[in-house]
């Protein structure tokens, strides 16, 4: 990332003693500092329930940076911009003290009254905090005020609507930055460039030439200590409502008339509005749910054996679905999505499968042409692979599949910015393109709620239906087989050295 100078800013992190701040926020802000995007005129005000001294907090920040950064030469100078305030989110007197501290930092670092409120806390506090920020005067400033909110934004459409209504009493839609960290990933942001900057792909990006698109996000870790949260969310709410549908929207959107925030968001909303709704028994034709059990060797425990999980839980840890977009461009093209916990590989990957050519001149009984594929590797590898057919090096006319690969990981190495680093920079700059608008949240919840209602009203008696360290239940493969397709492998190394 080239040096981008940011305006002076006070970054107030609610939940600064928590895991998210330590693993992601402090390291990302430090990287911006190292790159010169944050210079002298910035301050980080950590806010938490713990009665920490300033020294305890700065040691907490130091531990975070020493564990995450290769360049530790400027940690001391960065920490000079960090301070802490213990806080009770429900007590107005705490906000009055917070306002006094913010005003002091504004004067000390010459911040022009610019403030970012980052709520790295449990969602049940979002409304309370925003009410107090407005009522107790922290938003009364001559500079900009922006609110950053982590997911989940509600647990269904009614709760999301109520939360949005409450927050909007204190902040306008333009001031609200709803983080989906997938939108900060390098290759997710590259989807638009691959599509709209290449004459090779844009004319083919429609139902005439594409047979199906597969989006996989698999994790090798199980639920671990998140049982209490996961029992309330499940994979559908945790991954599909936000990350998976956001990637589908980027893959399916029409070319915007410009790269402005409003135009890109508008096109994504049109995709989400065009999602074919599925409800009732119809859900079983379009979606598969799974829950992992112990692995085949009995070394890894199943989901129901985790702490804070019901021993007869009906919560899904895996979702696969066929998403149809009922518009002119995508009529008849299935977007297959799958995501799960405790799977055999960690991978987020998009596979675009192009239709077969009308007649295979190179067909014989022993050999048929492989389909052309465009593979977008999002994590852990970053890059692109194009699968083509070419003649084998022999005297005949047999063909072989070749791969044209670009690996962003090997080219950029450790200089590739982390997702939170990009999103924090965007927020400081006031660029909301890679944050979700309320209309996106509303339409995605509307789609997902119908599936949730059916699953919650019908118990899946086959649970657990896939062993830990596998790629999910057999029904997922059967769903694609009915359409004449199969899941493309995501575990092998497609990016050649």
Active site residue 367: no
Q: Packing angle between helix 438-457 and helix 261-274, nearest 10 degrees?
A: 20
Output the six-digit token pair for 47.
């806010």
Output the six-digit token pair for 152.
């989940």
Cα 405 to Cα 201, 387, 410, 497, distances in angstroms: 16, 9, 11, 9
Which residues have CB under 8 Å from 290's CB, separation 6+? 316, 317, 318, 319, 320, 340, 463, 464, 465, 466, 472, 473, 475, 476
Output the six-digit token pair for 439.
């209309």
Which residues have CB under 8 Å from 124's CB, separation 6+? none
Cα 121 to Cα 13, 127, 151, 277, 377, distances in angstroms: 9, 11, 10, 32, 31
Assess contact for 85 and 101: CB atoms under 8 A: yes
H or E element: which one contains 45? strand 42-48
Assess contact for 52 and 84: CB atoms under 8 A: yes
How far apart are alpha carbons 296 and 293 in whole angstroms? 9
Output the six-digit token pair for 11.
């970054």
Assess contact for 441 and 164: CB atoms under 8 A: yes
How far apart are alpha carbons 45 and 108 in whole angstroms? 13
Burial tier of 123 (Cβ tally within 10 Å: 0-12, 13-18, 19+): middle
Catalytic member of 81, 243, 387, 437: 243
- Each residue of 163-178: b (16+ CB within 10 Å) or e? bbeebeebbeeebbbb
How far apart are alpha carbons 108 and 144 in whole angstroms? 18
DSSP 167: H
Q: Which residues are catalytic?
A: 243
């Amino acid at each position: 990332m080239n040096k981008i100078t940011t305006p002076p800013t006070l970054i107030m992190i609610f939940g600064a003693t928590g895991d998210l701040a330590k693993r992601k926020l402090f390291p990302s802000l430090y990287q911006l500092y190292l790159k010169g995007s944050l210079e002298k005129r910035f301050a980080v005000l950590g806010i938490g329930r713990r009665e920490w001294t300033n020294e305890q907090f700065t040691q907490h920040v130091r531990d975070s940076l020493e564990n995450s950064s290769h360049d530790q030469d400027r940690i001391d100078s960065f920490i000079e911009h960090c301070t802490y305030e213990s806080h009770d989110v429900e007590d107005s007197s705490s906000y009055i003290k917070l306002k006094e501290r913010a005003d002091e930092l504004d004067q000390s670092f010459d911040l022009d009254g610019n403030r970012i409120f980052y709520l790295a806390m449990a969602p049940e506090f979002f409304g309370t905090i925003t009410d107090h920020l407005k009522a107790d005067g922290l938003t009364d400033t001559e500079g900009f005020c922006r609110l950053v909110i982590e997911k989940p934004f509600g647990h269904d459409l009614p709760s999301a609507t109520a939360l949005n209504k409450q927050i909007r009493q204190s902040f306008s839609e333009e001031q609200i930055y709803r983080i989906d960290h997938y939108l900060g990933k390098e290759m997710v942001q590259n989807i638009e460039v691959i599509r709209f900057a290449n004459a090779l792909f844009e004319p083919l990006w429609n139902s005439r030439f594409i047979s199906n698109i597969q989006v996989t996000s698999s994790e090798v870790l199980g639920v671990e200590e998140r049982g209490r949260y996961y029992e309330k969310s499940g994979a559908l709410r945790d991954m599909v409502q936000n990350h998976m549908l956001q990637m589908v929207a980027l893959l399916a959107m029409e070319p915007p008339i410009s790269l402005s925030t409003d135009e890109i968001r508008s096109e994504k909303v049109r995709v989400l509005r065009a999602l074919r709704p599925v409800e009732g028994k119809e859900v079983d034709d379009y979606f598969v749910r799974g829950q992992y059990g112990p692995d085949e060797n009995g070394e890894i425990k199943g989901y129901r054996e985790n702490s804070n999980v019901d021993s007869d839980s009906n919560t899904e840890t895996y979702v696969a679905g066929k998403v149809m977009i009922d518009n002119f461009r995508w009529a008849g093209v299935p977007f297959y999505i799958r995501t799960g916990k405790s799977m055999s590989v960690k991978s987020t990957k998009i596979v675009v499968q192009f239709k077969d050519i009308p007649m295979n001149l190179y067909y014989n009984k022993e050999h048929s042409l492989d389909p052309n594929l465009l593979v977008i590797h999002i994590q852990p590898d970053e890059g692109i692979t194009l699968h083509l057919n070419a003649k084998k090096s022999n005297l005949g006319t047999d063909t072989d599949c070749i791969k044209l690969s670009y690996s962003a990981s090997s080219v950029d190495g450790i200089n590739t910015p982390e997702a939170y680093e990009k999103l924090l920079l965007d927020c400081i700059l006031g660029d909301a393109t890679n944050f979700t608008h309320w209309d996106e949240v509303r339409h995605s919840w509307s789609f997902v709620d119908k599936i949730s209602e059916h699953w919650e009203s019908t118990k899946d008696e086959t649970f657990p239906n896939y062993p830990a360290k596998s790629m999910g239940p057999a029904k997922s493969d059967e769903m694609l087989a009915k359409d004449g397709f199969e899941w493309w492998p995501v575990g092998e190394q497609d990016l050649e050295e």
